[in-house]
């Protein structure tokens, strides 16, 4: 069997398939089907310094080849995550990389969360500066180079944990944002968060989401994600975790060719809970069939016209 | 409680009324784990989200689950095309059921496509169950004979009076509660009906359990989109209909939230 391991920011992943934040809870919801140790990593539900109630429902709408969501970061707070979930995740993961996805309204929120996580045994921190569904903070940090740089710098000073910054595609130049966070000490970037979207019920003229707008994910956004990863790959040297609409092993290979060292999957598991395992199996066969010893051989190997 | 996800063969299919189908699948592991009032998240080929469909009947001996659902859109239409011999991709059983204790006198109140998940209570309680089933009109009436066959005192209501009581389910509910000797009311149906049933139960100081609906994602508690406002220990928070429900104690639900 092929060696699927990848290394990102000094952290070893047993395989390149990471569950995306928001789609997998804190790893507790799918264990009836398979153990979390099958996964390369889990990016846990986006957490804030204080618990958050989340947005008024409806919070989801189906779209062609995707979904719109506006959960609004409902979570039990960083302290709750560390106290109730982290030890179990580490124990059951048996080497599966546990990533804390952190969001905030103010710089102080991000710093306080990072300080709590610094003294925990979480493996990595993923900075969420791209959530489209909260009124304060969230994507407002991620849409300017100055904002993205400021959060990265503040958190970098608060923690030595390997730091991933998750970028929003809802910007003019994602490559410029990538360069800004790299310059402030990000160890990796995850690309992309959801695209801002909207659906309207034509019968009652109400938006389907109570928040009016929400984040679009699923296969519909895959080409946008591939483009963003490729643009970032050409702009920065730090490793990229590619995400956005991946549902098959072929998608994973495509994302890696564009420049991703690992991938995240989210929406795909709502359709098929086994999708992450199928991607891992497919990648292994692809490597065997093509004589690939390490997935690092294909990262960024697209041949542009 | 545990759930499964696999492709299971359809062994029986019937059209019960216009746009309402009954599909039974052979799924011994899922059937063995299932409880009355739980649901399954069923794949509609070509769609991103599975469709949450309540379990109508559980047969642990035969290893089958029966789903009765209405075609509401393109996804449920795709599922309705499954015939005997086809496979359905079923994720379930999911959520918390009605958990009706043995030996209790129960009234079940169902509205329209909210009726199917209540049939298992009639099966369990027999003559100790009174079933008040509301429909728009005679051509939408489903499962009434099956409730009666299990021994339930079955009362059908229609909005247009074309069969049974002419009017809403709360009228016969009030009459039945006035007779006394009721331990529990279980309800599933449109929100206005649920609210009216809950109020009636509050006024009569009878415990009530309600099965709720919300636009759903994963079905297993991970994505936190199918929220409903609940109150526990004086604190308000959004519960997940899929994992914390779909059946809730009516006292915990804030319907105006």
Query: What is the CATH class of B98-210?
Result: alpha beta
Q: Is the pLDDT of residue A117 over 90?
A: yes
CB A280 within 8 A of CB A241: no
What pLDDT is attached to residue A208?
96
What is the domain partition of chain A in residue ranges? 6-56+72-200+216-297
What is the domain partition of chain B in residue ranges? 4-94, 98-210, 212-257
What pLDDT is attached to residue A79?
97
Q: Which of A24, A62, A201, A274 to mutate to test the interface with B (most CBs of B within 10 A)?
A: A62
Distances (CA, A) of A271 to A194, B195, B206, B207, B237: 18, 33, 40, 37, 28
Subunit contact B91:A53, Cβ cutoff 8 A: no
Subunit contact A57:B214, Cβ cutoff 8 A: yes
CATH superfamily of B4-94: Translation factors (2.40.30.10)
- The pLDDT profile of chain B, 257 residues, written as one tens digit per residue, is 799 999 999 999 999 999 999 999 999 999 999 999 999 999 999 999 999 999 999 999 999 999 999 999 999 999 999 999 999 999 999 999 999 999 999 999 999 999 999 999 999 999 999 999 999 999 999 999 999 999 999 999 999 999 999 999 999 999 999 998 999 999 999 999 999 999 999 999 999 999 999 999 999 999 999 999 999 888 999 999 999 999 999 999 998 75
Give A303 to chain B, closest Cα distance, Å: 31
Q: How many CB pairs under 8 A join A and B?
A: 97
Which residues of A are tagged catalytic? 131
Is the CATH number of domain B212-257 2.10.240.10?
Answer: yes
Here the contacts of B76-83 (C-beta below 8 Å, separation 24 or greater) are: B76/B44, B76/B51, B78/B44, B78/B45, B78/B46, B78/B47, B79/B23, B79/B42, B79/B44, B79/B51, B79/B53, B80/B21, B80/B23, B82/B10, B82/B13, B82/B23, B83/B10, B83/B13
What pLDDT is attached to residue A139?
65
Q: Is the pLDDT of residue A133 over 80?
A: no
- Distance CA(A78)–CA(B179), nearest Å, equals 53
What pLDDT is attached to residue B219?
97
List of residues 6+ apart from B82 with CB closer than 8 A: B10, B13, B23, B88
Q: What is the DSSP letter of A194?
A: P
Q: What is the ipTM of this complex?
A: 0.94
Place of tokens 């509050």: B202
- Distance CA(A85)–CA(A104), nearest Å, equals 20
- Distance CA(B8)–CA(B30), nearest Å, equals 10
Subunit contact A57:B220, Cβ cutoff 8 A: no
> Does the beta carbon of B215 lie under 8 angstroms from any beta carbon of chain A?
yes
H-helix or E-strand containing B10?
strand B4-17
Give the right CATH number for A6-56+72-200+216-297 from 3.90.226.10, 3.10.20.90, 3.20.20.70, 1.10.3720.10: 3.20.20.70
- B215 contacts in A (CB within 8 Å)? 57-61, 208
What pLDDT is attached to residue B233?
86
Subunit contact B226:A57, Cβ cutoff 8 A: yes
Q: Which residues pair with B104 in a beta bridge?
A: none
Share the mean pLDDT of chain A: 95
Chain A: residue whose CA lies nearest to B256: A56
Task: Please state whether A154 falls in left (phi above 0), alpha (psi between -120 and 50) or beta.
Answer: alpha
> Does the beta carbon of B5 lie under 8 angstroms from any beta carbon of chain A?
yes
Backbone φ and ψ for B161, nearest 5 degrees, come out as: 75, 10
- Distance CA(A104)–CA(A47), nearest Å, equals 8
Q: Which of B48, B214, B237 sits opposite A67 (nearest CB)?
A: B48
Among A252-256, A289-293, B225-229, B233-237, whose mean pLDDT is lowest? Answer: B233-237
Q: What is the largest CA-CA distance in chain A?
A: 57
């Amino acid at each position: 069997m092929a060696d699927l391991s990848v290394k990102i920011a000094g952290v070893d992943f047993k395989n390149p398939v990471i569950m995306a934040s928001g789609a997998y809870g804190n790893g507790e919801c799918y264990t009836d089907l398979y153990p979390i140790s099958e996964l390369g990593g889990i990016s846990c539900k986006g957490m804030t310094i204080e618990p958050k109630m989340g947005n008024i429902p409806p919070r989801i709408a189906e779209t062609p080849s995707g979904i719109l969501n506006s959960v609004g970061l409902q979570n039990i707070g960083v302290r709750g995550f560390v106290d109730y979930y982290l030890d179990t995740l580490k124990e059951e993961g048996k080497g599966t990389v546990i990533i804390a996805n952190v969001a905030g309204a103010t710089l102080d929120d991000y710093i306080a969360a990072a300080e709590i996580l610094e003294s925990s045994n979480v493996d990595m921190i993923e900075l969420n500066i791209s959530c489209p569904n909260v009124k304060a903070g969230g994507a407002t940090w991620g849409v300017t180079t100055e904002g993205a740089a400021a959060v990265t710098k503040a958190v970098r000073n608060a923690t030595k944990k390997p730091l991933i910054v998750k970028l929003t595609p809802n910007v003019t130049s994602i490559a410029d944002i990538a360069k800004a966070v790299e310059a402030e000490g990000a160890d990796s970037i995850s690309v992309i968060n959801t695209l801002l979207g909207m659906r309207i019920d034509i019968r009652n003229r109400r938006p389907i989401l109570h928040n009016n707008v929400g984040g679009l994910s699923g296969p519909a956004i895959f080409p946008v994600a591939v483009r963003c990863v490729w643009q970032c790959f050409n702009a920065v040297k730090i490793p990229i975790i590619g995400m956005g609409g991946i549902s098959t092993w072929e998608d994973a290979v495509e994302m890696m060719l564009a420049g991703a060292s690992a991938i995240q999957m989210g929406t795909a598991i709502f359709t098929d809970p086994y999708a992450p395992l199928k991607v891992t199996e497919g990648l292994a066969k692809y490597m065997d069939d093509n004589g690939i010893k390490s997935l690092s051989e294909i990262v960024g190997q697209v041949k542009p016209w | 409680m545990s759930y499964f996800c696999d492709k299971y063969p359809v062994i029986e299919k019937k059209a019960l009324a216009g746009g309402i189908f009954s599909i039974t699948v052979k799924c011994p592991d899922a059937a063995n784990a299932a409880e009355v009032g739980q649901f399954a998240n069923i794949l509609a080929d070509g769609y991103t989200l599975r469709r949450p469909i309540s379990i109508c009947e559980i047969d642990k001996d035969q290893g089958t689950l029966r789903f009765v659902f209405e075609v509401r859109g393109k996804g449920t239409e795709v599922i309705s095309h499954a015939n005997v011999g086809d496979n359905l991709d079923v994720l379930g059983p999911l959520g918390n059921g009605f958990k009706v204790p043995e030996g209790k006198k129960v009234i079940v109140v169902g509205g329209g496509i909210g009726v199917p998940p209540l049939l298992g209570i009639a099966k369990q309680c027999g003559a100790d169950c009174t079933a008040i089933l509301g429909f728009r009109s005679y051509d939408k009436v489903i499962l009434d004979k099956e409730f009666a066959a299990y021994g339930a005192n079955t009362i059908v209501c229609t909005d247009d009076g074309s069969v049974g009581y002419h009017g809403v389910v709360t009228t016969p509910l009030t009459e039945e509660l006035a007779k006394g000797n009721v331990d529990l009311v279980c309800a599933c149906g449109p929100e206005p009906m649920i609210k009216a049933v809950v109020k009636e139960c509050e006024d009569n100081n009878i415990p009530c359990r309600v099965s709720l609906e919300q636009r759903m994602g994963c079905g297993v508690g991970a994505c936190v989109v199918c929220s409903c406002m609940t109150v526990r220990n004086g604190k308000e928070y959004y519960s997940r209909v899929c994992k914390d429900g779909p059946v809730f104690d009516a006292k915990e639900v804030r319907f105006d939230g």
